[in-house]
Chain A
Amino acid sequence: MNPSHQSPWHRPAPPSTSSFLSFAAVPQSRRDFLWRSGGGLGGIALASLLGGEKLLAADPAPHSAFRVPHFPPRAKRVIQLFMGGAASHLDLFDYKPELLKRDGQKSDFGEHVEAFQDGLGPWMKPVWPFQPHGQSGKMLGETVAELGKVVDELAFVHNLVGKTGVHSQATYLQATGFQLPGFPGMGSWVSYGLGSVNENLPAFVVLPDHRGFASNGPKNWDSAFLPGQHAGTIIYPGQENPITDLFPGPAGGFVSPASEAAAHDVLARLNREHAATREGDARLDARIRSYELAARMQLAAPEAMDLSKEPDHLLNLYGIKKNPPAWPKEINAEEEMDYFGRKCLVARRLVERGVRFVQVWSGNDNGFPRRNWDSHEDIRRDHGPLSMGFARGAAALIQDLKQRGLLDDTIILWTTEFGRMPSSQGGKGRDHNPYCFTNWLCGGGIKGGVTCGESDQWGYKPQDRNHPTTVYDIHATILHQLGIDHTRLTFRSNGIDRRLTDVHGEVIPGLLG
């Protein structure tokens, strides 16, 4: 592919060393074209005829008998922050004085423990000091102290339990409610249940880690058996094509703004003639409308991702550098803040524009050097920059949403695959702990400044082993806030009325404000 013949869409990709999100204004030619063609798309009366909600909701779901909302919703949208590789609760959020006391002593769990690798070394204290924050006096690790500014908005759950210490299965479980592939992501269920607010943008958007995908890749946000439009749409802000095939790539040098507008006219005309002689087939009309929506998405998506108009103080709040330097090779906090902050700011812009569910990832796969949370070797080395990065972005996001009045009906969920062991692996790292970990939530009617569910003195298992919290409970609670009874949002697939929470899940009353 030789991009010698460049269409107006083709501007050089931003240099990868500087930033994945360009601040350069969109070149005049493209913007011109977009608005011109948007305005000039002949018979497309953008506002009225589309009924995007209807189009997107025209699901072939004969067996699903749900009607939503089931009760008045407290929240309208969700932002999920997902830490790939399994973030340590013990070094960030779940303060355990007992570990400070016993640091370095031979660990004794009082029972047989099956470690994933060799994680039964001596007890290991949190790598960073903890300090109390806010009115609630919640103890936070030093690297996430930024969250102290909003800690009274947060509700912590310290007694989450998983089912497996295998990354892939655990990621699936948290993302889809099942431990194997083939199930829709939570965002897909929300999209399916509530539809779209803004048909010009996908209802479920995913912002992957800029380095690549976490375990399972796009299967974590797949629509699986749900209709295809409910799949998470990957957005790479700042790239030439922020959504796959949003614009013609280098192979489309022959397409010009004028030819594009004319093509839409010809298509609409011939397609309508074709449909007119084939009455009674709604699919033909739906497909005609889908082309109109596509043209509108070409306008709406770049606009939603354009940070150039955001004020400096806000960029600073998010930890975004306007002119990012050439980042060093080693993982570092500044760079993590910049990348994660950008994703958080784009997330805000997306929910502001009606996107239902945004999933933001931190950390890619489990390769070396570590660029995710799987700190078997050295918590400080990986968790340090990663946690400082996400904490800055997340704290900014919460403040920004609050200031805009959006926090009231936007839920933020911080989650990960599982936790890490209170003992070391003999060195500076911690092994997998599927028996206990932390989530936190805020906004959207979630009660702030509380903790629902504690872990034991080590953070090894829930304090009350008979009443742990599961991912199903978290999912049930979030759906509840969205006005959905999790037992009633179903879709029949291969003989089973599937739901996000399988056959489990209880709404957590203590989380409800």
Chain B
Amino acid sequence: MKRISRALIGTSAGEKRARAGVVFPALTGLAVLLMSSNVGAAAAVDPARLPAAATAPVDFARDIRPLFESACVKCHGPEKAKNGFRLDTRAHALTGGDNGVDILPGASAKSPLVHYVARLVPDLEMPPKGKGEALTARQVGMLRAWIDQGAKWDREETSQPMKKSDWWSLLPLQRPAVPTPVNRKSQIANPIDSFIVARLDGKNLRPSPAADRRTLIRRVSFDLIGLPPKPDEIEAFVADQDAKAYEKLVDRLLASPRYGERWARHWLDVVHFGETHGYDKDQPRPNAWPYRDYVIRSFNEDKPYARFVQEQLAGDELFPGTRDGFEALGFIAAGPWDLIGHSEVPESKMDGKVARHLDRDDMVATTMQTFNSLTVQCAQCHNHKFDPITQEDYYSLQAVFAAVDRADQKYDADPKAGPKRKELTDRQTALTKRKKELDETILVRAGQTLVDLDKKITALSKAGKKGEAFGYHSSIEKLQNTAKWLQVDLGRSVSLGLIVLHPCSDDFNGIGEGFGFPVRFKVEVSDDAAFKNNVALAGDYTKEDFASPKLKALAVEAKGRAARYIRVTATKLAPRQNDYIFALAELNALATDGNNAALGAAVTALDSIEAPPRWRKLNLTDGWQPGASAADSGELAALRQERDQLVAKAVSAEDQKERAGIERDLAVVKTELEKLPLPSTAYVAAVHNGGGNFAGTGSKGGKPRPIYVLNRGSIQKPGKEVGPGTLGCLPGLPSRFELPPNHAEGERRAALAQWLTRNDNPLTWRSVVNRVWQYHFGRGLVETPNDFGRMGALPTHPELLDWLAVEFRDGGQSMKKLHRLIVTSATYRQSSASVAAFEKVDSENRHLWRANRRKLEAEAVRDAVLLVSGKLDPKMGGPGFRDFVIEKPEHSPHYEYHLHNPEDPRSHRRSIYRFIVRSQQQPFMTTLDCADPSMQVGRRNESQSPLQALAMLNNSLMLTMSKHFAAKLDKQDGDLPAKVRGAYYEAIGRALSPDEVSVLTRHAQQFGLTNVCRVLFNLNEFSFVD
């Protein structure tokens, strides 16, 4: 604090200091004495001008310390201690500074500190101008109350600086006793209610009566599956006489696959899952969806939480060979990624280093915020200002992720294929190695002649390779049942043995091998170019769907029929991402004499995309298809023969025999490998084997990059190198991972995963039950789900939180069990109606004396609109639907949402399957406050804005679905009022009053049912659930 003038105090600062020192040990008792010594300061201030002291009991940790930390300690703490005054320990605070004692316990009106912060002492306004904001009257009132109540500090705190790990969320987890409120049996359905009711009793509040069944089924349906109940479901529930009717309903909802879709969306908010990179060049990640499906599957399978956590951080290491263990790694890769910073700048440059630092920062922040609700990322430039997290803790967490990058990776989704593939590739490697040894011996003996011969063979083989000439490609169609044909002119009538169709391979959207091969088709031959007369059917595949042949050629028997023209007609096209095509790599017409009569033949087609060299009609008869590695020309055969003879002369029969054996075995291995299902691709975090600037650590065997503590977070100021580790603030838990010197990088992630899922990591269990609670009640027991630190909120019901955490941890870590416990509580089943008297006590309903009315999230609105319109496609999983058209894909794709046709049925799936663009977010969903995939959203904002009203009224999906909803109603029996009543029941789940019926019927009479449907979607009652 600034120097106080002597006149004001009336005695010298030195004297005051000495006196304060003396009285300190028994301070509270001597308050009166101190008061008298401060008369000067007090006299200068009119106490009537002070804000009134708060009347509520004050909690130092909750109310006062954060105030000191944010407003005072920067200048009056261990670092600066201006004017000798510190507010970071009780001893210092009560001792006072150079100007004497500032806090007089029990006498706030006379405490100089209060005068200063109330800004009543000229030149001593605290915090000074420019150093911080003035305290509010409420804050001064709290401070006064704290002083009046004895200026109590934390429990055991004495002269030590704030012991940072003494914080509720870091304390060990213990199961609290369940309270037993007296005379409240009827209001207690399970232990949750005991905790809640006990608290309500203490506040003179009463729980609300149970909501009626119609309200309840709508509430619990949206809550558990994200969709409204259908009219017949409502009726059945309302009529169900079974005492366990509600429990049955809950079990049915939890068993529905819709449950996983609903709750996966919450999880994806927290981990900020997106399907484009973000930043500049916001390219799509077409293979990110397996992680989304993994999360849905995990919820539906009710996977134990520890396993769920471990898979997402180190599934490859802890559960090798499992599909979940691989796809779960999409968690680490979920966030944004700077393509230019990675692929246009090497790691050796500063910009490249910065990009990779930001990338790891995102991984660390995501992990610790998601699982432990702590903001470790604040310790990037310095030790965390509020929580006991050191800068070294932070960088040792970066070291955990130092070897991995985000990229597409191949894996075996089939659990059996993985080990088999490994066995075969291992064998392949061993055989190839031995073959190489033998070849080296052969080379030595056969000499230069062999070298020259090999050169020729290689050159010739390469000449025959045309990997770029994919084949023939039709125009793109919106409808699958569009017929397309292509035709080969053999130049003369040829007696045909086999007609062979070779499929294409292209990596477009991961379709890969078999790209464009028609689903239904026929092969005909004729001598009539127009295929009007004398047409013979050689192969008919139009009756049922033909599974993608991958790269396997299809041979159609032509039975020696003579014809000049061959025509392939596709009657059902091959699907791509959003459209349909017909493509073929090669067509062979093997004459009965064995020659390919189609080689070089002219090709015509209904249409064709001519994009040489990859796609053109000519490619169909160019003699090359995927898998054909070399031109099988006579010259090549002759050279090979010459080579064989040379080798035969040069080496022993024994070696030759072994080599031939190896060749045979290799061929067998190759065939075996080909029999395995094709590997899948997922966008995950893993050791990346790349080229160019984005090389990853693959070329270095996955050796983690060195990680240094960065001075002030600057890449240019690296300090001490750190190994892998984690937080040091949890009592009894190790903070650094002791791994052997040559450990695999995955062991680092596994160590973190195991640390996070330890029974004695209290944060993990508190964090997850709080999240689940929040999604059921609209607010967590801790209001800040991503921050359990000092800047976060305190738990409203700490005992209940701990009880739930222990119950969950020790009870099988079952999400479904936790949901069941929560939604069957009387607390959850209360009515949401307000009670005026209780509003006065607890207007925010923190004590849960009623249910909270919930506004539907963007996804729930959209899904409900689709469902009641009769258009919701329940198809699960797979690549997401795209409700946009990409223009200018080559650089920064333009995601044009307004070009999407809302009638496209592929986009009528649940919102969880929406392809999520990061830079250009979907305008409708964004306006409705859906989560921003660039941020970790622990709790969504909720707003009511005119733009939101416009979106609900005018978005093309809303308008389109209004039409479908009306068309559905039109098909039903009954008069207009009956249809209006039915529509309301579908959309909102209740019967209309006669008055309401007449209002809406009049609207329908004047403007048609479609306009009524649009109104229904826009009602508050549609968007809010009681």
Q: Which residues on A are within 8 Å of B, measured CB to CB?
A: 1, 55-56, 60, 65-66, 114, 116, 163-169, 171-172, 179-182, 199, 202, 212-213, 215-219, 222, 224-225, 227-229, 231, 233, 243-252, 254-256, 258-259, 262-263, 266-267, 269-271, 273-275, 278-281, 283-284, 286-291, 293-294, 296-298, 365-368, 485, 487-488, 492, 494-497
Contact = CB atoms under 8 A, between A and B. Distances in A.
Contacts of A116: 345, 351
Given A246-B954, A248-B959, A259-B1007, A182 B934 contact: yes
Interface string B348-370: 01110011001000100000010
A228 B943 contact: yes
Given A219-B918, A280-B839, A494-B787, A245 B943 contact: no
15 contacts: A60-B941, A165-B351, A166-B338, A181-B918, A182-B934, A182-B935, A244-B947, A245-B924, A245-B955, A249-B954, A256-B1007, A267-B1015, A278-B832, A280-B836, A494-B936
B208 to A, nearest CB: 13
Nearest to B966: A254
A180 B1000 CA distance: 49
Contacts, number: 284
Given A60-B941, A259-B1011, A492 B935 contact: no
A275 to B, nearest CB: 7
A251 B1015 CA distance: 15
Contacts of B1007: 254, 256, 258-259, 262-263
Given A65-B133, A114-B350, A246-B950, A180 B280 contact: no
Contact of B375 (A291, A298, A496): A496
B847 to A, nearest CB: 15
Interface stretch (B547-555, B560-568, B762-770, B887-895): B887-895
A216 B338 contact: no
Contact of B947 (A229, A247, A367): A229
Contact of B789 (A212, A274, A495): A495
Given A167-B280, A219-B934, A366-B892, A255 B1011 contact: yes
A213 B936 CA distance: 24
Interface string B842-885: 01000000000101000000000000000000000000000000
A41 to B, nearest CB: 13
Contacts of A248: 953-954, 959
Nearest to B339: A168
Contact of B944 (A163, A166, A283, A496): A283
Contact of A180 (B136, B358, B833, B953): B358
A367 B945 contact: no
Given A270-B1019, A273-B996, A495-B387, 20 more contacts: A60-B942, A168-B281, A212-B888, A215-B892, A216-B280, A216-B919, A217-B892, A218-B919, A222-B932, A229-B943, A245-B923, A246-B954, A254-B1007, A280-B834, A284-B1020, A284-B1024, A293-B949, A494-B786, A495-B786, A497-B791
B371 to A, nearest CB: 14
List the 6 closest pairs (A to B, CB-CB), nearest first.
Answer: A168-B280, A495-B787, A367-B891, A181-B934, A168-B279, A365-B892
Interface in B267-298: 278-282
A444 B645 CA distance: 91
B927 interface: yes
A224 B349 CA distance: 30
Contact of B919 (A169, A219, A231, A244): A219
Nearest to A117: B344
Interface residues of B, number: 102
Contacts of B944: 55, 283, 286-287, 289-290
A254 B853 contact: no
Contact of B1003 (A55, A169, A266, A365): A266
B495 interface: no
B1021 interface: yes
Interface of B: 70, 130, 132-133, 136, 278-282, 336, 338, 340-341, 345, 349-351, 354-355, 358, 362, 369, 374-375, 378, 386-387, 784, 786-787, 789, 791-792, 832-834, 836, 839, 843, 853, 855, 888, 890-892, 894, 898, 901-903, 918-921, 923-924, 926-927, 929, 932, 934-936, 938, 941-951, 953-956, 959-960, 962-963, 996, 999-1000, 1003, 1006-1008, 1010-1011, 1014-1015, 1018-1021, 1023-1024, 1026
Contact of B953 (A164, A287, A294, A296): A294
Given A182-B934, A215-B280, A222-B932, A164 B354 contact: yes
Given A213-B920, A258-B1007, A251 B956 contact: yes
Contact of B833 (A65, A164, A217, A278): A278
A245 B953 contact: yes
Contact of B901 (A1, A233, A497): A1
A221 B999 CA distance: 42
Contacts of A294: 946-947, 949-950, 953
A114 B348 CA distance: 11
A263 B280 contact: no
A495 B951 contact: no
Contacts of B1011: 254-255, 259, 262-263
A164 B340 CA distance: 12
B787 A290 contact: no
A488 B70 CA distance: 12
B1003 A263 contact: yes
Contacts of A289: 944
Nearest to B992: A270
B280 A488 contact: no
A112 to B, nearest CB: 11
A500 to B, nearest CB: 16
B935 A224 contact: yes
B724 to A, nearest CB: 24
B692 to A, nearest CB: 14
Contacts of B919: 213, 216-219
B279 A367 contact: no
A361 to B, nearest CB: 14
Contacts of A368: 891
Contacts of A55: 944
A164 B715 CA distance: 12
A217 B1018 CA distance: 30
